[in-house]
A and B are shown apart, each in its own frame.
Chain A
Amino acid sequence: MKRGITPYLFILPWLIALAAFIAYPFAASLYFSFCDFPPLQKPMAIGADNYVELVGDAAFHRSLGTTMIYAAIAIPLGVILAVTLAMLLNSRIRGLTFYRVIFYLPHLVPTVAVAILWMWIFNPQFGLINIILKPLLGMADWWTSAFRTWPVAAGVAAVALPGIIHSVWRRRSACGSDPSRARRPRCVRLAAAASSLSIAAVCLAGIALLNLLLNRAFPLDMDKLHSPGWLSDATPFPSSLPFAPPWALWGLIVMSMWGVGQMAVIYLAKLQDVPTELYEAADIDGASWWTKTWSITLPMISPVILFNVVMAIIGTFQVFAEPYIMTGGGPEEKTRFVAMFIYDQAFQYQRVGYASAVAWVLFLVIVGLTLLAFRVSRRHVYYAGR
């Protein structure tokens, strides 16, 4: 008997805290969601009125839409960036520990400090991003217009052409040649130098053409890209797409990418777990880098990707501090996330009951999306143990 009670005695403080600070508020908020409850008065049961009101509340729909769009972009982008970063950090280069620390550091900076820092970075007039963007795109525009005059275009083509011919020729002859030979003939070395030059020329032509095409296809967006209003701009980007996030939301998305270092460290731990013999076997089979990544690396780290996606779903639906500090929900309420909406209802508009109802809907949405992630993952996630 004594043996039965003792362990519970030890976890008792935690159990009490769990009951008082998690279980009770959890249950109470469910009850309040069926009440009219100004914080200064007693809750009054009103049935499902709060939930009915939610269905028709345009402000709620707006903030749920904002949160969804943010999640739909920030989560995949975050995963891609973090995996890429982890793979880079996994390579064998000098000063690796230093880079790992550098990329993890942003996670240690307090949210408020980060938010205020990024407010300056996003300042349309003095901000770092616009200071870089404007001359960069200005140069691209200048080059595009220069490229459109035929002497320049012909010059670039003249430099690019030998390189293209050389690379085609080398590809053909590569099969027969012996790579281990120490000295190449002089003409081959000359051709190699010419080919690097022409790669540069091809890139320059590519920039000009890409800029030209983008300017033709999205003249308004490309014009805006020179100096976006970021956090104070409510116009969508790209403007022709439905459900495109406004510039202010893009700002918050870009900012959230700053913190992917933390996710990358988790990926990195798993990457180092991937057995090297798999790569060796693939090398023997002559697999390319891309095949190895797609068929070995990603499947092997897929459980961690699932974990990070689930954490990101929960995290993005709770985004509060950054928009609260940086935009206050504006411009035009386009960065009022659901968590902010809940806060406003409870503490600005004195409607704790309604806020509780929204919180429960948010909870169900998060649970639903998490279950969906698990369901989808069944086919794509590989657990070595099973």
Chain B
Amino acid sequence: MRSIHFALLGVIAAIALIAAFEPRPALQAFDPVKHAPYKDTWAKRTHISYWEKWGSFERDACQAMVDDFNQNQDEVFAHYINTSQVNRKAMLAIVGGDPPDVVGLWANDLPPFAEAGALMPLDDLMAKSGLTRNYYTDDYLKLGEYNGKIYALPTTPTSVALFYNKEHFRRKAGKLRAAGLDPDRAPRTIEELDRYAAVLNEFDPDGSPKIMGFLPTEPGWFNFTWGYYFGGNLYDEATGTVTTDAPENVAAYKWLKSYAEAYGRESLLRFRSGFGNFDSPLNAFIEGKVSMEMQGVWFPNFIRRHRPHMEFGVAPFPTAEGVPGPMSQLDCDIIAIPRGCKNPEAAWQFVLHTQTRGLAILCRLHGKHMPIKNPPALYRQGHPNLELDVFEEVAASPHSFIMPRIGIWQEYLNELNRAFEHVWSWPVPESELAGLDGEARRAKIEQLCEAEIRATLANVRETMQKKLDAKRERDAARDSLRAGNSKTRPAPAKNGGGT
């Protein structure tokens, strides 16, 4: 009996030993491709790993870009490793000292990664390869920049615009004309947008909405940007202060709240609960439940997939009276080389390809514009996105904006979304409205809402400013600690290790 126990213990120990000392398989070891066109050069190539997001046709596009790189030179072979939650996995891999050679992140991730020194600065490599800052659209380059250094380069850019359902416009052409509006074009100001929306609305006999002309909560991804369309912003770079409750932002929230109040919070809640997923035929815009909405450059791909013959138009999203446009929030996916990777030179060779030839392949197959000032001459020919010029126009516009580049942005974003939901569903206290009707009641509602909006936004500003200041203090303490260390220790650890 005893010997059986010892035998079992021995087996466990053996398994542990094998697990501990078994060498990690090399990238080139387990790829069936080595018997394909790369057979002759497989062994002498440098193999690099490229962790990147994407699924479905967007993944295929990325693979096409990587294949193009692998086929057109014989020194490096890039392995595209499709990774979900790539930012978190990359973070753990970098901390664990075994990062990929190239990683694709979201622009939001850059500040924490760059701050920690987890990415290689690319300025010198760019200069060596003749890649200049002027090559890029300014805002997209800025998304890969931190404290004046470039840590990542843009891959696929995004911009947003107003999508409108041309079938709905045509059906209501008479009514639109009667209201003094042109049914053959999209609204150009927020005021016009409201008037179009009012004509396009359709209700069931019981008063519940059937079609909404415009609904600020659909798709609900850009709720933090509305203030910009009224001339406001969320953060003042010059003074380093949070500006959530600037008068322009208050005006934007008042406008949003007017939709909730006009059509009833409860009935809109029920109406919205009937919308399907974004990537489905039951998407509110694709199904025709919402006539106009803010969406991104990726959206035509999904319309084509679920309702190929839908007639829709795209125009720059309207701005409030007196606010210069066209305007869009700009964002992008970025590509970077983690510090401590095994083959930085080969990695740069690949990144360079993703910024030139590869960039055109990827952006085209994604149906997007390019994040550079002068796309190749033939880029637009046969491009799958027929509305490309609108997105190119807003991306190049000096009025477009990127999200604030501050370390607490994720928290700020969360607070802004909470503020939006709070304002949207805030019930106007009935007790305050007793005895009022008509215009007096409407004015009172607006006054009450405005007070609540101001209080909510001021609260967000205070909370976030406090968090921002605290973060700055911590960062300063960390910097001074690092400076102190480097005096006593000549070679500080470059790789930001965790534990």
A residues apposed to B, CB below 8 Å: 9-10, 13, 28, 36, 38-44, 46, 53, 58-59, 123-126, 224, 227, 229, 232-235, 330-333, 344, 347-350
Measured CB to CB, the closest approach of chain B to A327, in angstroms, equals 11
Residues on A with C-beta less than 8 A from B117 are 40-41
B24 to chain A, nearest CB (A): 21
A348 touches B410 (CB 8 A): yes
Q: What CA separation (Å) do A167 and B463 show in the bound complex?
A: 66
> Could you tell me if B425 and A41 are in contact, using CB atoms closer than 8 angstroms?
no
Asked if B44 is at the interface (CB within 8 A of a chain A CB), the reply is no
- How many angstroms from the CA of A363 to the CA of B265 in the assembled complex? 39
Q: Name the residue of chain B whose CB is nearest to the CB of A350.
A: B112
Are B478 and A40 in contact, CB atoms less than 8 angstroms apart? no
Bound complex: CA A36 to CA B473 (Å): 11
The residue that A36 contacts in the complex, of B5, B272, B474, B497, with Cβ under 8 A, is B474
Residues of B within 8 A of A123 (CB): 273
Residues of A within 8 A of B113 (CB): 40
Within 8 A of A (CB), among B28-79: none
Q: List 12 A-B contacts (CB under 8 A).
A: A9-B9, A38-B115, A41-B115, A46-B474, A124-B269, A229-B269, A229-B270, A232-B269, A332-B422, A332-B425, A348-B414, A349-B408
Besides the known contacts A41-B115, A124-B270, 20 further A-B residue pairs in the complex with CB atoms under 8 A apart: A10-B9, A13-B12, A38-B112, A38-B115, A39-B95, A40-B94, A40-B113, A40-B117, A41-B478, A42-B496, A43-B498, A44-B474, A44-B477, A46-B474, A46-B477, A58-B463, A59-B415, A124-B269, A126-B273, A232-B272
Kindly provide the distance from the CB of B393 to the nearest chain A CB, expressed in whole angstroms.
34
Give every chain B residue within 8 A of A349 (Cβ-Cβ).
408, 410-411
* B418 & A333 in contact (Cβ 8 Å cutoff): yes
A287→B92 CA distance, assembly (Å): 65
Give B270-314 interface residues, CB cut-off 8 Å to A.
Answer: 270, 272-274
Is there an interface contact between A40 and B269, defined as CB atoms closer than 8 Å? Answer: no
Interface residues as binary, B391-411 with A (CB distance below 8 Å gives 1, 0 otherwise): 000000000000000001011
Shortest distance between the CB of B419 and any CB in chain A (Å): 9
Kindly identify which residue among B273, B421, B422 contacts A125, using a CB–CB cutoff of 8 Å. B273
Are A126 and B274 neighbours in the complex by a CB distance under 8 Å? yes
CA distance in complex: A46, B471 (Å): 12
A227 touches B91 (CB 8 A): no
Chain A residues, Cβ within 8 Å of B417: 330
Contact digits for B114-150, partner A, Cβ 8 Å, 1 yes 0 no: 0111100000000000000000000000000000000
Report yes or no: A40 in contact with B273, Cβ–Cβ below 8 A.
no
Residues of A within 8 Å of B470, CB to CB, are 53
Contact B269 A42 (CB under 8 A): no
Name the A residues within 8 Å of B116 (CB-CB).
Answer: 38, 40-41
Asked whether any CB of chain A lies closer than 8 Å to the CB of B174, the reply is: no
The 7 closest A-B pairs by CB, nearest first: A40-B116, A124-B273, A125-B274, A332-B421, A229-B269, A41-B496, A41-B116
- How many of chain B's residues have a CB under 8 angstroms from any CB in A? 42
Question: In this assembly, does B266 line the interface, its C-beta being within 8 Å of a C-beta of chain A?
Answer: yes
Residue of B92, B115, B478 touching A44 (CB-CB under 8 A): B478
Residues of B at the A interface (CB closer than 8 Å) are: 5, 9, 12, 88, 91-92, 94-95, 112-113, 115-118, 266, 269-270, 272-274, 408, 410-411, 414-415, 417-418, 421-422, 425, 427, 463, 470, 474, 477-478, 481, 493, 496-499
Q: Tell me the nearest residue of chain B to A58, going by C-beta.
A: B463
Contacts of B91 in A (CB 8 A): 39-40
Q: How far is the CB of A59 from chain B (nearest CB, A)?
A: 8
* Shortest Cβ gap from A294 to chain B (Å): 43
Please indicate the chain A residues that have their CB under 8 angstroms from the CB of B12 in the complex: 13
CB–CB A232/B273 < 8 A:
yes
Complex: how many Å from CA A344 to CA B410? 10
Q: How far is the CA of A349 from the CA of B88 in the complex (A)?
A: 11
Min distance, Cβ A69 to any Cβ of chain B, angstroms: 18
Q: How far is the CA of A40 from the CA of B478 in the complex (A)?
A: 13
Write out the residue numbers on chain B whose beta carbons fall within 8 Å of the beta carbon of A36. Answer: 474, 477-478
Q: How far is the CB of B422 from chain A (nearest CB, A)?
A: 5
- Chain A positions within 8 Å of B493 at CB level: 42
- For the complex, what is the distance from the CA of A313 to the CA of B425, rounded to whole Å? 32
CB neighbours of B272 from chain A (8 A): 232
The residue on B at minimum CB distance from A16 is B16
Whole-angstrom distance between the alpha carbons of A9 and B10 in the complex? Answer: 11
Select the residue from B94, B273, B425, B493 with max chain A CB neighbours within 10 A. B273
* Residues in B whose Cβ lies below 8 Å from that of A9: 9
- The reply to whether B273 and A229 form a contact with Cβ atoms under 8 Å apart is yes
CB distance from A350 to the nearest CB of B (A): 5
- Compute how far the CA of A227 lies from the CA of B118 in the bound complex, rounded to whole angstroms: 51
A28–B498 Cα distance when bound, in Å, is: 12
- Residues of the A chain whose Cβ atoms lie less than 8 Å from the Cβ of B421: 234, 330-332
Chain A residues near B9 (CB-CB < 8 A): 9-10
**In the complex, what distance in Å separates the CA atom of A21 from the CA atom of B481?**
31
Report how far A124 CA is from B272 CA in the complex, Å.
9
CB contacts (< 8 Å) of B477 on chain A: these are: 36, 44, 46
CB–CB A40/B95 < 8 A: yes
Contacts of A330 in B (CB 8 A): 417-418, 421
A46-B477, A349-B408 given; A40·B112 CB < 8 A: yes
Bound complex: CA A39 to CA B270 (Å): 41
Q: Which residues in B have their C-beta under 8 angstroms from that of A332? A: 418, 421-422, 425
Residues of chain A within 8 A (CB-CB) of B474 are 36, 44, 46
CA distance A234 to B269 in the complex (A): 11
A344 to chain B: which residues have CB within 8 Å? 414
User: Which chain A residue has the least Cβ–Cβ distance from B272?
Assistant: A232
Kindly state the separation between the CA atoms of A91 and B211 in the bound complex, as whole angstroms: 54
- With CB as the reference atom, state the residue of chain B lying closest to A44: B478
Is B425 a contact partner of A331 (Cβ separation < 8 A)?
Answer: yes
Q: By CB atoms of chain B within 10 A, which of A28, A39, A348 has the most?
A: A39
Complex-state Cα separation, A126 to B272, whole angstroms: 12
Q: Report if A40-B499 is in contact (Cβ < 8 Å); known contacts: A123-B273, A332-B422.
A: no
Docked complex Cα distance between A156 and B408 (Å):
66
- CB-CB under 8 A from A53, the residues of chain B are 470
Question: What residues on B are CB-neighbors of A10 within 8 Å?
Answer: 5, 9
Residue of B with least CB distance to A347:
B88
Q: In the complex, what's the smallest C-beta–C-beta distance from B254 to chain A, in angstroms?
A: 19
Q: Are A40 and B496 within 8 A (Cβ)?
A: yes
- A39 lies within 8 A of B410 (CB): no
Q: Write out the residue numbers on chain A whose beta carbons fall within 8 Å of the beta carbon of B422.
A: 234, 332
CB distance from A33 to the nearest CB of B (A): 14
Q: Which residues of B contact A43 (CB under 8 A)?
A: 498-499
A331 to B273, CA, bound (A): 13
Measured between beta carbons, the chain B residues less than 8 angstroms from A348 are 410-411, 414
Contacts of B269 in A (CB 8 A): 124, 229, 232-233
Contact B5 A39 (CB under 8 A): no
Residue contact B410 to A40, C-beta cutoff 8 Å: no
A135 to chain B, nearest CB (A): 15
B336 CB to nearest chain A CB (Å): 13
In the complex, A46→B480 CA distance in Å? 13
Instruction: Say whether B425 contacts A234, CB under 8 Å.
Output: yes
Report how far A28 CA is from B417 CA in the complex, Å. Answer: 34
Rounded to whole angstroms, the CA-CA distance of A332 and B410 in the bound complex is 16
State A152–B113 Cα separation when bound (angstroms): 74
